[in-house]
Structure 1
Amino acid sequence: MTDFHEPTPDERRHLRRCVDLAREALDDGDEPFGSLIVDGAGQVRFEDRNRVKHGDETRHPEFEIARWSASNLTAEERAESTVYTSCEHCPMCSAAHAWMGLGRIVYAVSSAQLTQWRESWGAAPSPVAPLPITAIAPDQVASGPVAEFAAELRDMHARSFGV
């Protein structure tokens, strides 16, 4: 279920960190994606960026958060958490998120935006259908996109595609 609202200052700060993580990934030769998880008390517990450049296409930061949460958070802590991410989860990450019972997701740009950008650059389509989070996890609460990050992320993704 979509729960869009104007982001709070804390939500903007967390999304800014995700965008910075995406830039770190890009600067390291990886795809520009970054994510973090915040517990119910508002503390960042784990963050990561994309790490697929060496051939393991499952090394998405959202998937790493799901894996990390299995060993480091109780079921209750997972449910009370919020995951922030530079781009809406792909189907693999949406499923991992739902299986782990993680809480709300807040994303800066949508998979629809990213798909539209890729098409405009003549890039090959993603090997996975660009479905919204709630198409994979219907009961998941997700918020986004947040317009203020779109241009910056578009530029990063364009750079990653050599545009």
Structure 2
Amino acid sequence: MAVSEVDLGHLHRCVALAREGLADGDEPFGSVLVDAAGQVRFEDRNRVKDGDETRHPEFEVARWAARNLSPAERASATVYTSGEHCPMCSAAHGWVGLGRIVYAVSSAQLVQWRQEWGLPASPVTPLPIQELVPGAVVDGPAPELVEEMKQLHRPVS
């Protein structure tokens, strides 16, 4: 399935959350969990600035869903996110049994940008979501949002 106009609306909210995180001194990532009826059930942004590198919004989505949704509700939900899941978040998504994932930019794009800017590599090898969760339904990137996300990730000089 391609990224639809409805998907883009939710991805724009993810980008707004990423911008909010960046404004608060954090990394620019945001995620939204939407149920099968199209209702936003949970949203969050990155919160790693205080040293807990596990405070990714995709991980928080999985934790919230495990506590608040039935297995059937989780399987029919969609996770929208500004950046493709890291391996930790992909694993959490798979273990909790969440449904479709839609992302604005891929891990490969983020790696390429960091290399262009001369930044160090991530301490965790970036992998496509399906390498960790083979049955995952994943759509992205959304070309309409790539340049905006690149600007959010660009280091301040």
State if a TM-score over 0.5 links the two structures.
yes
Does 1:48 find its partner at 2:49? no
Q: Larger RCO: Structure 1 or Structure 2 (Cα < 8 Å, ≥ 6 residues apart)?
A: 1
Equivalent residue in structure 2 for 1:92, among 85, 88, 91: 88
Residue 108 of structure 1 aligns with which residue? 104
Does 1:79 find its partner at 2:75? yes
Equivalent AA in structure 1 for residue 74 of structure 2? R
Mapped partners of 2:132, 2:156: distance in 1:
31
1:54 Cα offset (Å):
0.2
1:8 Cα offset (Å):
1.9
How many residue pairs were aligned?
A: 157
Mapped partners of 1:152, 1:8: distance in 2:
18
1:136 Cα offset (Å):
0.8
Mapped partners of 2:116, 2:92: distance in 1:
30
Does 1:135 find its partner at 2:131? yes
Residue 118 of structure 2 aligns with which residue? 122
Mapped partners of 1:157, 1:8: distance in 2:
24
Deviations 1:53-76 (A, max 9, x none): 000000000000000011110000
Q: Please report the TM-score for the alignment, with normalisation by the length of structure 2.
A: 0.98
5+ residue gaps, structure 2, are none
Deviations 1:31-64 (A, max 9, x none): 0000010001110000000000000000000000
- Which runs of at least 4 in structure 1 moved beyond 4 Å after TM superposition? none
> Cα RMSD (Å) of the superposition?
0.8
1:162 Cα offset (Å):
2.4
Equivalent AA in structure 2 for residue 132 of structure 1? P
1:10 Cα offset (Å):
1.2
5+ residue gaps, structure 1, are none
Deviations 1:119-143 (A, max 9, x none): 0000000011110000111111100
Q: Please report the TM-score for the alignment, with normalisation by the length of structure 1.
A: 0.95
What is the DSSP-based 3-state SS (H/G/I as helix, E as strand, rest coil) of the residue aligned with 1:129? coil
Does 1:64 find its partner at 2:56? no
Mapped partners of 2:134, 2:4: distance in 1:
25
